[in-house]
Structure 1
Amino acid sequence: MKHHYVPQCYLRQFANKKGRAFQVSVFDREEQRSFKNNVKDVACQNYFNRIHLDGMDPNALESAMSEFESGLAEALVRINEARNLENEDDKAYLLTLIGLAALRNPNMRENIKGIVDGLGRMHVAARLQSQATYDASIAEAKAEGALPDDYDVTYEEMREAFDEGDFKIELDNNALISLEFQMLDHSIPLLHKRGWHLLRAPEGSGGFITSDRPFYLMWEDPAMRDGPLAPGLAMMGTDIYFPISPTLAVVGAFNVGNTVEDACEQTVAVCNSTMPDGADRQVYSPDHKFKYARTRAEEPRTGNQLISDKRFLRKP
């Protein structure tokens, strides 16, 4: 069963309706081609929200996400009609969407697995310092129910497996989803502390585009963007860029107010460059008419050029 990590109601903002279907133009860096596709079939993964808990429906989280997305869909419609963020409830829906986009996607899950694997190996190494340390840790884990009573891997067997790298540390979907929502609980207040600058694309322009990872965090100072220090969600001097629809996008920053700007085509083009740069694999747009540019000094390129752009085809 396909579960969307980018909500369909959001993707529909960038789609054209064809009968009962909503189609987007997809620019795929792995396949190195562009094509039309139904939003039902993009930015999704089989059983992404599936949980396994005794007595609970495995699709309970997917159902809960669907309820949230029903409210989100209405909020996005109102935001696009009003062309402002004055409705606090609608803004709260938008900020929750931004938080979800930042934390709940396949690439982030792989990053979390990598971090847990590294920490887990350090933890195992500490427990293997001696036979006594290992035996004590096993006894403690059994007492806490973390290991079954019949666990019988010896110190020598574990030591040999560790030295040869012949083991894996894995997180199941339950653990990953739990971590994601714990991080979301910490992230939402940080998003509300930022001021949000609403950008409105000029009428008749190609507009803003989006991707399978529409959350883009960057240093406010362009000179720091190619440096060794990665920006963090709680760090001062950072900007969050997020496209809402082809006509609207937001930039969030600390120590600024909530403002609105009628952006020029040059500004829209520079904003659009973040989506190919930050996408895991795919960029989405209603058509090929959009423009993008890394800097204001660069001649804008059109959507027709994206799929042959070596900067896009290079995996970030």
Structure 2
Amino acid sequence: MKQHFLPQSYLREFCNAESKLFTLDIDLLKFKRKVFPELKTTAEVCRSKDFYTIKGDFKTQFQHLNGLDPLFLEKKFQEYEREYPKIIAKIKSRQPDLPLQEAELFMYAIIDIKIRNPYFRETAVESKKETVIDTLFDSYRTELAKLELTDPRQIIRKDVMLEEMDKMKEKIMTDEDFGRKTHLSSLVSRQMETKNVQHKISQHLLQFEWRVLYSHNDFFTTDNPGVSIDPTNRPQNTKFTDEFFFFMPLTPHLCLVISSKTPDKAYRVDAANKQIYYADAPKQMIHKINELHGFHVTKYIFSNNQRLIDIIAQKINLTAGL
């Protein structure tokens, strides 16, 4: 089953009048080929076979997956995906605030889109595989080494356990599906928690001003939308602690900006609404936001207009020397 890792409800906001996306496939650069615009439907992009499906062999390694519907995560995602267009419609009409429940769901959706993305799977899970496994098994071996055993049968049992541990470590290290299994396991675990990390981050971001910048159809997006800037001005895929600026393109006209430096003075935990502030985006700011979204692309860049996608393609090809 083909599953979208970037919701179609998000992608549709960047479609043209014919419900198509102008796309650039940056994978072409790997083959020393120029990128060029192609028209695609939302159904054709940002999807992968069984990307979130919980398969039977997963359940033997992760006990908390037992008894779950294989499409458990898909159904959880739909809880906010079906509400997302209604909330965006209010923001597009420049509604001055959102009911707090909708604001919470909206921010939860944005954070979840970041965490469920393949870029996150690759950089936060797969790339750290060796370090995580080494740390885990080294701690097990350390604890076993602390046991002072005198009974020969216990000593033999300890040696057997160490040997079995090494075999298990080898098996996991050579498992090509480790990243997907671990990512899905963590996504399910978070969905089962009353207050998961997505919820905590979204609650944290409610405390700051939500400013929506307006452009004349000049924002593009990617298959991994949303970028944070840390105190050293470096772009980060996900950073919502300490000092940060977070940018999230919502439509070709609108981009959400949240900064830790601007607390929302109107916000209260028991408030009925979350205020939204609107402002025109200076050209320099538009350029900067678009530029920042080039750092964490997996495969695709999207726009709803030929003019902008042509400009992006020219810049990419020129930078690549093509």
Shared fold (TM-score greater than 0.5)? yes
The answer to whether structure 1 residue 188 and structure 2 residue 197 are counterparts is no
- Equivalent in the alignment of 1:253: 259
**Between structures 1 and 2, the one with greater helix share:** 2
Distance in structure 2 (CA, Å) of the matches to 1:60 and 1:158: 31
Provide closer, same or farther for how the CA distance between residues 135 and 57 of structure 1 changes in structure 2, counting only shifts above 3 A.
farther
Question: What is the SS of the residue equivalent to 1:6?
Answer: coil
**Which residue identity lines up with residue 42 of structure 2 in the other structure?**
V
The answer to whether structure 1 residue 45 and structure 2 residue 48 are counterparts is yes
CA contact (8 A) 1:209 1:246 kept: yes
Provide closer, same or farther for how the CA distance between residues 250 and 273 of structure 1 changes in structure 2, counting only shifts above 3 A.
same
Distance in structure 1 (CA, Å) of the matches to 2:148 and 2:188: 30
- Equivalent in the alignment of 2:152: none
TM-score normalized with structure 1 length: 0.74
- Equivalent in the alignment of 2:11: 11
The answer to whether structure 1 residue 176 and structure 2 residue 194 are counterparts is no
For residue 27 of structure 1, the aligned residue among 24, 30, 34 is: 24
For structure 1, the 5+ residue unaligned runs are 137-151, 292-300
CA contact (8 A) 2:227 2:238 kept: no
Question: What is the SS of the residue equivalent to 1:276?
Answer: coil
Deviations 1:143-179 (A, max 9, x none): xxxxxxxxx96534655887x9994473625413235
The answer to whether structure 1 residue 197 and structure 2 residue 200 are counterparts is no
- Equivalent in the alignment of 1:139: none
CA contact (8 A) 1:75 1:93 kept: no
The answer to whether structure 1 residue 242 and structure 2 residue 242 are counterparts is no
Deviations 1:209-231 (A, max 9, x none): 11111110113x5xx1259x998
TM-score normalized with structure 2 length: 0.73
* CA shift for structure 1 position 312: 11
- Equivalent in the alignment of 2:98: 87
Provide closer, same or farther for how the CA distance between residues 62 and 127 of structure 1 changes in structure 2, counting only shifts above 3 A.
closer
* CA shift for structure 1 position 65: 1.9
- Equivalent in the alignment of 1:281: 299
Distance in structure 1 (CA, Å) of the matches to 2:20 and 2:9: 12
Provide closer, same or farther for how the CA distance between residues 134 and 309 of structure 1 changes in structure 2, counting only shifts above 3 A.
farther
Q: How does 1:207-226 map to 2 (within 5 A)?
A: 207-219=218-230, 224-226=232-234
**Which of 1 and 2 has higher RCO (CA within 8 Å, sep 6+)?**
2
Deviations 1:47-75 (A, max 9, x none): 22223544432113212322421111121
**Which residue identity lines up with residue 49 of structure 2 in the other structure?**
N
Question: What is the SS of the residue equivalent to 1:45?
Answer: strand
For residue 116 of structure 2, the aligned residue among 98, 101, 104 is: 104
* CA shift for structure 1 position 307: 4.0
CA contact (8 A) 1:5 1:48 kept: yes
Question: What is the SS of the residue equivalent to 1:100?
Answer: helix
Provide closer, same or farther for how the CA distance between residues 45 and 114 of structure 1 changes in structure 2, counting only shifts above 3 A.
same
Distance in structure 1 (CA, Å) of the matches to 2:120 and 2:148: 35
For residue 265 of structure 1, the aligned residue among 264, 268, 283 is: 283
Distance in structure 2 (CA, Å) of the matches to 1:282 and 1:230: 16
- Equivalent in the alignment of 2:85: 73
**Which residue identity lines up with residue 252 of structure 2 in the other structure?**
P
Question: What is the SS of the residue equivalent to 1:198?
Answer: strand
- Equivalent in the alignment of 1:308: 317
Q: Aligned residue pairs: how many?
A: 276
The answer to whether structure 1 residue 120 and structure 2 residue 123 are counterparts is no
Q: Alignment identity in percent?
A: 20
* CA shift for structure 1 position 14: 0.4
Distance in structure 2 (CA, Å) of the matches to 1:239 and 1:122: 33
Provide closer, same or farther for how the CA distance between residues 180 and 108 of structure 1 changes in structure 2, counting only shifts above 3 A.
farther
Provide closer, same or farther for how the CA distance between residues 83 and 135 of structure 1 changes in structure 2, counting only shifts above 3 A.
farther
Distance in structure 1 (CA, Å) of the matches to 2:287 and 2:293: 11
Distance in structure 2 (CA, Å) of the matches to 1:135 and 1:312: 64
**Which residue identity lines up with residue 69 of structure 1 in the other structure?**
E
Q: How does 1:283-298 map to 2 (within 5 A)?
A: 283-290=301-308
Deviations 1:259-291 (A, max 9, x none): 321123333222211222232221110123228
What do you get for the CA RMSD once the two structures are aligned? 3.5
CA contact (8 A) 1:25 1:36 kept: yes
* CA shift for structure 1 position 129: 4.6
Distance in structure 2 (CA, Å) of the matches to 1:245 and 1:230: 19
